[in-house]
Amino acid sequence: MKIRTRLFLVFVLLVVLGFTALVRWIADDLRPRYLESLEEGLVDTANILAEVVATDMAAGRFDPQTLQQTFTGIYQRRFHARIYALDKFDVEVRVYLTDAQGVVIFDSTGRDVGADYSRWNDVARTLQGEYGARSTQEDPSQPSVSVLYIAAPIYVGGELQGVLSVGKPAYNAERFLAVVKQNLISAALVAGLGVLVLGLGLYVWISWPLERLSHYARAVQAGERVKLPHLGRNEIGAAGAAIEAMRQALAGKDYAQRYVQTLTHELKSPLAAIRGAAELLNEDMPLQQRQRFMANIRHETQRIQELVDRMLELAAVEKRQTLEQVEQIDLAELAQDAIRSLETQLQRHDITAYNSIATGLTVRGERFLLRQALLNLLQNAVAFSPAGTTVTLSAAREHSHLCLRVDDQGSGVPAYALAKVFERFYSLPRPDGSGKSTGLGLSFVREVAELHNGSVQLINKPKGGTTAELRLPVA
């Protein structure tokens, strides 16, 4: 697994764990906060009612029966109060009073009058002058629902006469908490998803240049001609620039060493011929023989010149990674230009060149390089064609490529040589006995084709002759 993938998975895990812990912490903290709010309201209610009862007791007007009738009417009262998501239709408050000994003298529900509540926390603590409160599960059928009681002392003339306690079930709290938890979980999921999407975007933003750099490094390792991609002005871009600089340094060193070796090897034969002819010229010989040796020296000198020129052309193309002066090129016009350049050679070999390429077929590339490549293919076809034959140039679109073909009527390429003809310095004897060429022309064509993201191949035709096929991407 890739390191950046591991980092992203760790990030996802941390986000999930972090949001889960946050939701649980908030949810666990919601219940006491809500109960605090409920308790605070009950404290106010208990103290207000305690003061009302104390006033009636001081005036001698307190009557438990009258208070009971009041609460009976309150419990029978129906209304509709919309409290956010809660619909409330009745009063759910219980109120009871005890005397100074904790015995119930009034119960709004009427069920525990006369009971001893002196041991309940709300009553016991209040009788001791402390804050009295308790939470009790009164309904066995609803064990999760508790009733919260808050008590307040009743003072008459400075003397503690009893305790008033107000109770309210907390099941609405559970309902509120369930809704809040659901909303909290939904919000956490949306927020977590948003964070993950942002994290994924950050992952792609960071990993995409790394992926491009990795692809570039693999292409360089495979020996492909590839341009350093744009990686940004950051550490990744600096790493890519360093790799490119190292590649160029190593390629330049290897390139120079390889070319010195191959050039030395290829120059041995013509230099040996020149040296041999020069040594023989020091001897006395007939004029005709001397002129023949002089012609040999000129021929080998010309061969060396052609070899050096071709190597310089090939080297210039091989060291390039991208095209420079790219333009739209009409293949028919390019072919006609190449034919005009070879008119003298065509006449000397008695070869006819026919351009059958229709106008309108275009490719994008460097005109100079494609012209030189086409000239090499034409020269190769002319060199291996018998006198009186025709070399035909044609082109056709095949899917996403344009195929430029040069057909000759020669004897074809030997089967053993088809896989080698594009190798540097590989050459076959000419049918007219003029010897081998430099062996660099087709190598140049291959380099130009690859520089244009294309390809080139030689195909022997069934009825004789060879087709050189140059495939280039459609413009």
> Is 456 part of any domain?
yes
List, for residues 184-223, the tens digit of each pLDDT value: 888 888 888 888 888 888 777 777 777 777 777 777 666 6
331-354: average pLDDT: 87
> How many structural domains does the chain have?
3
Give every CB contact of residue 431 below 8 A, 6+ residues apart in sequence.
Answer: 384, 386, 410, 411
338 and 469 housed in the same domain:
yes
18 and 138 housed in the same domain:
yes
Neighbours of 363 (CB within 10 A): 22
305 and 340 housed in the same domain:
no
Last residue of a domain, one of 295, 318, 341: 318
List the CATH number of the domain containing 168. Answer: 3.30.450.20
302 and 346 housed in the same domain:
no
369 and 434 housed in the same domain:
yes
Q: Is the dihedral of CA 448, 473, 403, 341 positive or negative?
A: negative
List the CATH number of the domain containing 308. Answer: 1.10.287
pLDDT of 318 reads 59
List the CATH number of the domain containing 377. Answer: 3.30.565.10
> Is 128 part of any domain?
yes
> Is 260 part of any domain?
yes
416, two tokens = 């053993």
14 and 63 housed in the same domain:
yes
365, two tokens = 């590339």
Of the candidates 433, 287, 458, 452, the residue with the CA atom closest to the CA atom of residue 380:
458
Neighbours of 350 (CB within 10 A): 11
Confidence of residue 164 (pLDDT cuts 50, 70, 90): very high
pLDDT of 279 reads 75
> Over 359-372, what HEC string results?
CCCEEEECHHHHHH
307 and 341 housed in the same domain:
no
Last residue of a domain, one of 126, 148, 177: 177
> Is 90 part of any domain?
yes
> Is 390 part of any domain?
yes
Last residue of a domain, one of 177, 211, 234: 177
List, for residues 249-294, the tens digit of each pLDDT value: 555 555 555 555 555 655 666 676 677 777 777 777 787 877 877 8
152 and 112 housed in the same domain:
yes
> Is 195 part of any domain?
no
pTM, rounded to two decimals:
0.46
367 and 401 housed in the same domain:
yes
pLDDT of 433 reads 56
290 and 342 housed in the same domain:
no
- Which domain, by its residues, includes 284? 253-318
276 and 399 housed in the same domain:
no
21 and 164 housed in the same domain:
yes
> Is 236 part of any domain?
no
> Is 346 part of any domain?
yes
